[in-house]
């Protein structure tokens, strides 16, 4: 080694140590110099430490990516909630839900279901058929649980193979996943249901977290109680 290079390495050894490829080449050269019949425990330990460091770096990147994704999801829900609170009339509230809010949440179809015994012939109901559906008592829990004898959760996320045509209409053939929010509309009232349908089969899945959608559902049901009380 020429004196200039040697002096530079001695003066700044961290430059050499920070270069993983260079260190790996030096270790390999050392092993070759010792011969094939000698077990270098220090080299084995270094390989294990390198593998552990790689795993830690992968975990670190995954945690950062999850944090950014969670922050983006939180901002998305906050924007959707603010849009809901902008509405000054119930009809506008429902239309905003099916258009602007659906766009913010990146879902293809949004349907609000209210259990009631009222006739569907009401002109006000007909005007809102693109977002609002009326159903017989018991429909909400039956739809969420798919008629199984299990409690209906507040938030249900799942893939869909055959979407309910009665609920989604012409869009049913394209729906591949859905999020279902069970809505408590207050004492003495039947429950409601918000169904968010997506053509993306991976947008909603059972293993995903539900906290943010649970918060959104809580805001929505409080808004609905206010409109129904008025």
What sign does the CA torsion over 19, 21, 26, 31 have? positive
User: What does the pLDDT look like over 168-224, one tens digit per residue?
Assistant: 988 899 999 999 999 999 888 899 999 999 999 999 999 988 999 999 999 999 999
3 state SS of 44: helix
Cβ atoms < 10 Å from Cβ of 217 = 22
Q: What is the pLDDT of residues 99-108, one digit of tens each?
A: 999 999 999 9
CATH tag for 88-229 (out of 3.20.20.70, 3.30.450.40, 3.40.50.300, 3.30.70.260): 3.30.450.40
Look at the block and give the residue holding tokens 């430490």.
49
**In the chain, where the domains are located:** 88-229
| DSSP states of 146-215 | TT-SSPPPSEEEEE-SS--HHHHGGGGGG--EEEEEEE---TTS--EEEEEEES-TTSS-TTS--HHHHH
Can you tell me whether residue 158 is helix, strand or coil? strand
Q: What is the pLDDT of residues 56-107, one digit of tens each?
A: 888 878 777 777 777 888 899 999 999 999 988 888 898 899 899 999 999 9
Q: 195: which strand partners?
A: 111, 180
Q: Which two tokens stand for residue 69?
A: 């994704």
């Amino acid at each position: 080694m020429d004196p200039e290079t040697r002096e530079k390495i001695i003066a700044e050894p961290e430059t050499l140590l920070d270069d993983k490829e260079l260190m790996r080449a030096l270790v390999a050269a050392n092993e070759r110099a010792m011969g094939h019949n000698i077990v270098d425990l220090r080299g084995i330990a270094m390989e294990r430490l390198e593998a552990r460091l790689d795993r830690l770096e992968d975990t670190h990147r995954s945690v950062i990516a999850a944090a950014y994704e969670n922050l983006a999801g939180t901002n998305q829900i906050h924007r959707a909630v603010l849009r809901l609170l902008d509405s000054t009339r119930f009809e506008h509230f429902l239309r905003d839900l099916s258009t602007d809010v659906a766009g913010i949440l990146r879902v293809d179809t949004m349907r609000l279901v209210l259990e009631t015994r009222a006739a569907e012939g009401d002109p006000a109901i007909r005007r809102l058929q693109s977002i609002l559906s009326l159903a017989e008592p018991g429909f909400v829990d039956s739809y969420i649980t798919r008629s199984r004898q299990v409690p209906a959760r507040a938030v249900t996320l799942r893939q869909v193979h055959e979407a309910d045509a009665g609920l989604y209409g012409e869009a049913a053939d394209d729906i591949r996943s859905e999020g279902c929010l069970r809505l408590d509309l207050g004492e003495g009232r039947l429950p409601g249901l918000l169904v968010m349908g997506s053509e993306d089969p991976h947008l909603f899945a059972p293993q995903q977290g539900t906290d943010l959608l649970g918060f959104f559902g809580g805001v929505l049901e409080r808004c609905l109680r206010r409109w129904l009380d008025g």
